Amino acid sequence: MSAPPKKAFPLRLDPALYAAIERTAAADLRSVNAQLECLLREALARRGVKLEAPVRAKRGRPAKTGDT
């Protein structure tokens, strides 16, 4: 099962806020985009909004086929 396409949109942030998110992302070994998504999910969960778990892309090498 492949992950559904993500919604892209422009986002304007205060430079200090972006820098703080960038630092926390680096500490958590995430991209800024992944960190923003994580922070938004945490904030929604605190408000009682239930979301399905995200579909994660498979990592690593593709499975070998029998034709090699």
pLDDT digits (tens, 9 = 90+) for 24-62: 999 999 999 999 999 999 999 999 999 888 777 777 888
Cα(51)–Cα(38) distance, integer angstroms: 12
What CA–CA distance (Å, rounded) separates 47 from 14? Answer: 24
pTM for this structure? 0.72
- The pLDDT, as a whole number, for residue 10 is 94
pLDDT at position 6 is 84
Going by C-alpha positions, the residue among 60, 59, 40, 62 that lies closest to residue 51 is: 40
Predicted confidence (pLDDT) at residue 1 exceeds the cutoff of 70:
no
Backbone angles phi, psi at 24, to 5 degrees: -65, -35
Domain boundaries, the chain: 15-46
